[in-house]
Amino acid sequence: MDQDTSLVAVQYPDFFGRIEDFTSLGAAAHAAGALLCVVVNPLALGLLKPPSEFGADIVVGEGQPLGIPLSYGGPYLGLMATTRALVRKMPGRLVGETVDTQGRRGYVLTLTPREQHIRREKATSNICTNQALMALAALVYLSALGKNGLRRVAELCYHKAHYAAGEIAGLDGYELWSEAPFFHEFVVRCPRPVAEINTVLLEEHDILGGFDLGQEYPELERHMLIAVTERNDSDEIDEFVAALQEVANA
């Protein structure tokens, strides 16, 4: 960071599932005149320290874990919050840039208040989007859970993931990649290429294996990113662990 840095964005937990304390990072960002943005898993916030304790200026996240089915990738809803000092500075529109399957540049309107299209420069509201149906589903889910229920779901994710990680780490040929604290995702070093393991898991056990990190990080070849949530019961976890052992011994 230097005086030209405007914003620092971090994931919480990160891509590998690890939990970091960003208090010192937030202080350093503010000392450099930058803002701190924390990208969260909303379920994890039922258990972990809130980003406000890091001095976060902006918090964003994916709302899919809040009772929204996977649905082959959407529709989902985004979450965005700021400190009171920045509320009136939130943008009226956010346009994301990506590429299609052929590598061509494409854009998507990520945030668009309806009122902005009608009143334009006279608009004062930027809180309504076209994801009202998904927002309503998330609201129903959170209302049904309540404050204590959300924490309970987070605890289930945490404890089930740690149970699975401990069982897998006890298998011959498997070991945890990191000793850092994690929520419900963790990385395992495997005795065989992950693609081979996942093929056997699917074809012989009807199990979707973890993400092959070697696809994105060549240095993490034979490393699998595994996610365990509140929806995975102990029998399913034990079945997965047994299948991993069988694959390793094949």
Number of separate domains in the chain: 1
Both tokens of 65, joined, read 């874990």
The rounded mean pLDDT for the chain is 91
Please work out, in degrees rounded to the nearest 5, the angle formed at the alpha carbon of residue 73 by the alpha carbons of 10 and 185: 45
DSSP notation for 6-18: -EEEEEES-TTSB
Domain at 159, CATH number: 3.90.1150.10
What range does the domain containing 179 cover? 147-249
Start-end of H helices in the chain? 23-31, 114-119, 132-169, 194-205, 234-249
Confidence class for position 116, pLDDT limits 50, 70, 90: low
Is 119 domain-assigned? no
As a whole number of angstroms, the distance between CA 78 and CA 211 comes to: 23
Confidence of residue 131 (pLDDT cuts 50, 70, 90): low
**What's the predicted TM-score (pTM) here?**
0.85
Residue 217 lies in a domain: yes
Q: What is the DSSP letter of 75?
A: -
Q: What pLDDT is recorded for position 91? A: 81
Residue 171, domain member (yes or no): yes
pLDDT tens, residue by residue, 64-114? 999 998 888 778 888 999 999 998 888 877 888 989 889 999 998 777 766
